[in-house]
Amino acid sequence: MKYLLLVHHDETAFALLSEATQGQMLAESVQLTHALDAAGHYVHASPLHPAGTAAIVRVRDGKALVTDGPFMETKEQLAGYFLIEADTRAEAVAIAARIPGARIGTVELRQVRDIAGLPHKQR
């Protein structure tokens, strides 16, 4: 089963961390991806640019409406994600607990639905 692990944290609080701490967290995340890959769990992972660079797209009456971010008042923003393979939810939770961002924010765990007819390309 595939799980999407959405890493949320407060961008302002993260920016206040020393560059060394930020770099260490990134290095730990990269190490984690290699460990997950070696164990057969890794599919993809990446940090995201700050919420202020985001856009929201809605279609109303056939017209696309685009709102530039930041677009909502929240204490935590989506900071990145891991897409993993896990045999059970408990295994996915154990992997989520290893993500460095969980120490300063939260990791939302969502099982990915398999939909027939979707292309399955590896990049």
pLDDT tens for each residue of 36-80: 999 999 999 999 998 888 888 889 999 999 888 766 667 788 999
What's the mean pLDDT in 116-122?
Answer: 79
* Distance, CA of 15 to CA of 56 (rounded, Å): 24
- Give helix then strand counts, H and E, for the chain: 3, 6
**Hey, where are the domains in the chain?**
2-111
Largest separation between any pair of C-alpha atoms in the chain:
49
Kindly report the CATH class assigned to 2-111.
alpha beta
Beta strands per DSSP E along 10-119: 42-47, 55-60, 63-68, 77-85, 105-111
pLDDT greater than 90 at residue 26:
yes
Predicted confidence at residue 122, as pLDDT, reads 59
For residue 100, cis peptide bond before it (omega within 30 degrees of 0):
no
Predicted confidence at residue 72, as pLDDT, reads 61
